């Protein structure tokens, strides 16, 4: 007679240990888990922090490189537009890049107005590294680094300090500003200056563009104002310059650091602010 659960008719098979259950995956079922431990989380966070610390400086370097390249591309495009302008205007340079006035300017012609080749593209004149969007009359240099803020006439405005009429980051070397008496010696020998200095009111005085052409072909007058240093390589002769790629201090005014240039031949290159020395090392650095 059956007397209890242990009777043979109700014998239950012993439960198999988990470890012997058939496994469907790589691990035994007992190893299945759903959460990270605290230590694992801390390790992951630490790794992410290290990676971010490595990446963030890299990203800022890349950003700066892209801005530098964009500026170089803009300089080259403006240089190409100047070539188009010259072909349409008997090989003369435009007086300005993007406009301006002034009684000593050869004309009011520029690249964006009056059917200029860059009309409708004023943004091309602002360097991506120019935090003032082309509104700084000193073109990114501290006041007085060269011969004063009045040099803003070199760029896109009339010969009035801070008289810029539109945003431009760029210095235009071959502009239409007519040379003043004190500036002849920068480009011409004493003999060359005579026809102009003999007259009280030279008419017409050479423009900055003409003086630059003379400098390209003949070099710089020596300190006595007599002989030239010799022709510059056109690929290293700047026509438009950007000074925004530099951290200016009183120590690096003209002889150190690099500025970005596009040359007479549309070559984009870097040079020190006093580019003459880079193009021709025989030309001594100024004091
Ligand atoms: Zn620039």
Summarize pLDDT for 116-144 with one digit per residue, the tens.
888 877 789 899 999 888 877 777 776 66
Residue 246 alpha carbon to ligand 1 centre in Å: 9
Would residue 72 count as lying in a domain? yes
Residue 66 pLDDT level (bands cut at 50, 70, 90): very high
Residue 197 pLDDT level (bands cut at 50, 70, 90): low
Residue pair 199/184 in contact (Cβ under 8 Å)? The answer is: no
Residue 110 alpha carbon to ligand 1 centre in Å: 20
Q: Token pair of 221, please?
A: 């007058």
Quick one: which of 266, 248, 265 has its CA closest to 257?
248
Would residue 132 count as lying in a domain? yes
Residue 239 alpha carbon to ligand 1 centre in Å: 14
Specify the residue for token string 């070559």. 267
Residue 99 alpha carbon to ligand 1 centre in Å: 19
Determine which of 95-99, 191-195, 201-205, 273-277 has the lowest per-residue pLDDT on average.
Answer: 201-205
Residue 247 pLDDT level (bands cut at 50, 70, 90): confident
Q: Is 35 helix (H, G, I), strand (E, B) or coil?
A: coil
Would residue 221 count as lying in a domain? no
pLDDT value of residue 150:
44
Q: Which residue has the higher pLDDT, 23 or 84?
A: 84
Residue 123 alpha carbon to ligand 1 centre in Å: 13
The pLDDT of 4-12, averaged and rounded, is 48
Would residue 237 count as lying in a domain? yes
Would residue 236 count as lying in a domain? yes
Q: Which residue has the higher pLDDT, 108 or 214?
A: 214
Determine which of 4-18, 24-38, 270-284 has the lowest per-residue pLDDT on average.
Answer: 4-18
pLDDT value of residue 148:
43
Residue 283 neighbours by CB distance under 10 Å: 18
193, 195, 201, 202: CA torsion to nearest 10? -80
Distance in angstroms (rounded) separating the CA atoms of residues 88 and 111: 12
pLDDT value of residue 231:
94
Residue pair 139/170 in contact (Cβ under 8 Å)? The answer is: yes
Residue 207 alpha carbon to ligand 1 centre in Å: 25
pLDDT over 90 (residue 2): no
pLDDT over 90 (residue 269): yes
Quick one: which of 253, 244, 278, 247 has its CA closest to 263?
278
Residue 34 alpha carbon to ligand 1 centre in Å: 54
pLDDT over 50 (residue 152): no
For 78, the enclosing helix (H) or strand (E) is helix 38-88
Q: What is the pTM of this model?
A: 0.75
Residue 72 alpha carbon to ligand 1 centre in Å: 7
pLDDT value of residue 117:
82
pLDDT value of residue 286:
72
Total of domains in the chain: 1
Residue 125 alpha carbon to ligand 1 centre in Å: 9
The 10 Å CB-count burial string (b at 16+, else e) for 181-200 is eebbbebbbeebbeebeeee
Would residue 244 count as lying in a domain? yes
pLDDT value of residue 258:
86
Would residue 209 count as lying in a domain? yes
Residue 261 alpha carbon to ligand 1 centre in Å: 9
Residue 202 pLDDT level (bands cut at 50, 70, 90): low
Residue 164 alpha carbon to ligand 1 centre in Å: 18
The pLDDT of 62-70, averaged and rounded, is 93
Quick one: which of 134, 167, 175, 133 has its CA closest to 151?
175
Residue 136 alpha carbon to ligand 1 centre in Å: 13
Specify the residue for token string 């008496």. 181
Residue 163 alpha carbon to ligand 1 centre in Å: 21
Residue 243 alpha carbon to ligand 1 centre in Å: 6
**pLDDT more than 70, % of the chain:** 72
pLDDT over 60 (residue 102): yes
Residue pair 259/241 in contact (Cβ under 8 Å)? The answer is: yes
Q: Token pair of 97, please?
A: 């890049």
Q: Which residue has the higher pLDDT, 2 or 145?
A: 145
Residue 244 alpha carbon to ligand 1 centre in Å: 5
- Chain centre to alpha carbon of residue 1: 104
Q: Is 172 helix (H, G, I), strand (E, B) or coil?
A: strand
Residue 258 alpha carbon to ligand 1 centre in Å: 11
pLDDT value of residue 107:
80
The pLDDT of 107-118, averaged and rounded, is 80
Expressed as residue numbers, the domain containing 258 is 54-178+205-214+232-268
- Compute the residue count for the chain: 287
The pLDDT of 74-97, averaged and rounded, is 93
How far is residue 188 from each of residues 159, 175, 212, measured CA to CA in Å?
Answer: 21, 17, 10
């Amino acid at each position: 007679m059956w007397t209890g659960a242990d009777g043979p008719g109700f014998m239950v098979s012993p439960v198999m240990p988990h470890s012997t259950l058939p496994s469907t995956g790589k691990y035994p079922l007992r190893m299945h888990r759903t959460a990270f431990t605290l230590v694992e989380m801390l390790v992951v966070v630490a790794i992410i922090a290290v990676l971010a610390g490595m990446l963030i400086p890299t990203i800022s370097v890349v950003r700066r490189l892209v801005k530098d390249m964009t500026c170089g591309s803009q300089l080259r495009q403006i240089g190409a537009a100047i070539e188009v302008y010259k072909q349409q205007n008997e090989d003369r340079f435009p007086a300005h890049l993007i406009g301006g006035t002034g009684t000593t300017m050869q004309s009011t012609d520029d690249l964006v107005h009056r059917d200029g080749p860059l009309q409708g593209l004023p943004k091309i004149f602002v360097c991506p590294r120019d935090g003032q969007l082309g509104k700084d009359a000193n073109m990114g240099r501290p006041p007085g680094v060269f011969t004063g803020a009045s040099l803003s006439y070199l760029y896109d405005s009339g010969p009035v300090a801070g008289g810029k009429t539109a945003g431009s980051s760029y210095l235009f070397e071959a502009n239409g500003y007519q040379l003043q008496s004190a500036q002849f010696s920068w480009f011409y020998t004493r003999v060359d200056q005579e026809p102009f200095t003999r007259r009280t009111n030279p008419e017409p005085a050479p423009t900055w563009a003409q003086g630059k052409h003379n400098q390209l072909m003949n070099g710089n007058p020596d300190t006595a104002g007599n002989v030239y240093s010799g022709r510059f390589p056109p690929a290293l002769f700047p026509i438009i310059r950007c000074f925004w790629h530099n951290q200016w201090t009183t120590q690096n005014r003209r002889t150190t650091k690099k500025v970005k240039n596009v040359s007479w031949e549309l070559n984009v290159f870097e040079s020190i602010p006093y580019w003459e020395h880079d193009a021709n090392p025989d030309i001594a650095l100024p004091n």
